[in-house]
Chains A and B, each alone.
Chain A
């Protein structure tokens, strides 16, 4: 991405409208996409709250950005969007119902990738995360992304692999995880 990241952030922090127009162009898909993975209702309101958070207190959050690269800025904006959306979800009292049990998680791995399926980010327990981390990278990454609420097609996009490969890896991840997780439950 051909922008001078530090300079761009500084200009946004001055309230420059041209810099913010560029910001909308570059980051709106990221903010909206992140929010959609976490909240089911009021998505537009939550996206707007992310922007207001970025502006409030004299752009405090943007001023705290310490990175230099565009990728770092992407990760930073994503994290802010995630935090705002997660706070909103908590304020709606839905956090508990989203917490995934081991069985739920295994079910998720075998679920069909249909539009009816609710793909929202899940709060994974440390046991699930440990089990996911125990997988080889090629299975760990799709399993982790599934936890983040992505569909098979999106996982394929993120990992730059064909959708069939993504689905196969998810099925294999399930087979490996099932054994590991059931073992953990027994303990």
Chain B
């Protein structure tokens, strides 16, 4: 343990008292010798102390921060898609409540709610949101490779937009004209962060972030 720095996860477990005696002794030995880890450890202790301070945010500042959040939504939308064992849960920043909770199975069926709840055949699910006066539909398609998904994008009214797609910060694909091609050719893992930048004549029009989370 002395050869490398302690992970925050280890410090966190140490502070919460959930480590074994041996691990605790190893951590304490390391903290005596390592300046960096000692400072990280103390930072965590300070953070815990300060967090308990109880100071409340002023309503003026709260309003100001929330307004900034609302403003940022005009050209950006974030969506979380969580793939759980028996359902897919979708959160969207512009709609505080859950939109799709209750969809059953790996993928839900689209042709009627009764089917959704009683059948577990795989089928695509679509998420439609309005952003920058456009209706954007993201459809997630199941694939034969169970740990991957396909993705298609439709923007209405139809217009010539370029879509640059990055996955976990790396650019993976660019669709030159979304009105001609809606399906991404890349098959995506179910876990990761997908950023899609829609642009027109090299100007960003709006962006979408899709957080894909593979849960239990």
Output the nearest chain A residue to B15 by Cβ-Cβ distance. Answer: A71
> A47 and B211 in contact (CB under 8 A), knowing A71-B12, A71-B16, A74-B47?
no
* Interface residues in B72-92 (C-beta closer than 8 Å to A): 72-73, 76, 78-80, 91-92
Q: In the complex, what distance in Å separates the CA atom of A58 from the CA atom of B197?
A: 12
Q: Are B207 and A34 in contact (CB under 8 A)?
A: no
A14 on interface, CB distance cutoff 8 Å: yes
A162 on interface, CB distance cutoff 8 Å: no
From A28, A55, A159, contact of B72 by CB (8 A): A55
| Size category, A interface | 35 or more
A70 shortest CB reach to chain B, Å: 8
A97 on interface, CB distance cutoff 8 Å: no
> A24 and B57 in contact (CB under 8 A), knowing A16-B91, A58-B72?
yes
A77 shortest CB reach to chain B, Å: 7
Find chain B residues with CB under 8 A from A185 CB: none
Q: Are A71 and B11 in contact (CB under 8 A)?
A: yes
Output the nearest chain B residue to A78 by Cβ-Cβ distance. Answer: B47
B46 on interface, CB distance cutoff 8 Å: yes
Q: Are B44 and A29 in contact (CB under 8 A)?
A: no
Chain A 96-139 interface mask (CB, 8 Å, partner B; 1/0): 00000000000000000000000000000000011001000100
Find chain B residues with CB under 8 A from A33 CB: 50, 53, 55
Chain B 45-69 interface mask (CB, 8 Å, partner A; 1/0): 1111111111111100110111011
Q: Are B45 and A10 in contact (CB under 8 A)?
A: no
A72 on interface, CB distance cutoff 8 Å: yes
Find chain A residues with CB under 8 A from B213 CB: 6, 10
Q: Which of B35-43, B100-108, B141-149, B182-190 contacts A (4 or more CB under 8 A)?
A: B35-43
Apart from A14-B211, A74-B48, what are 7 other A-B pairs with CB-CB below 8 Å?
A14-B93, A24-B56, A30-B50, A30-B51, A33-B50, A70-B12, A158-B48
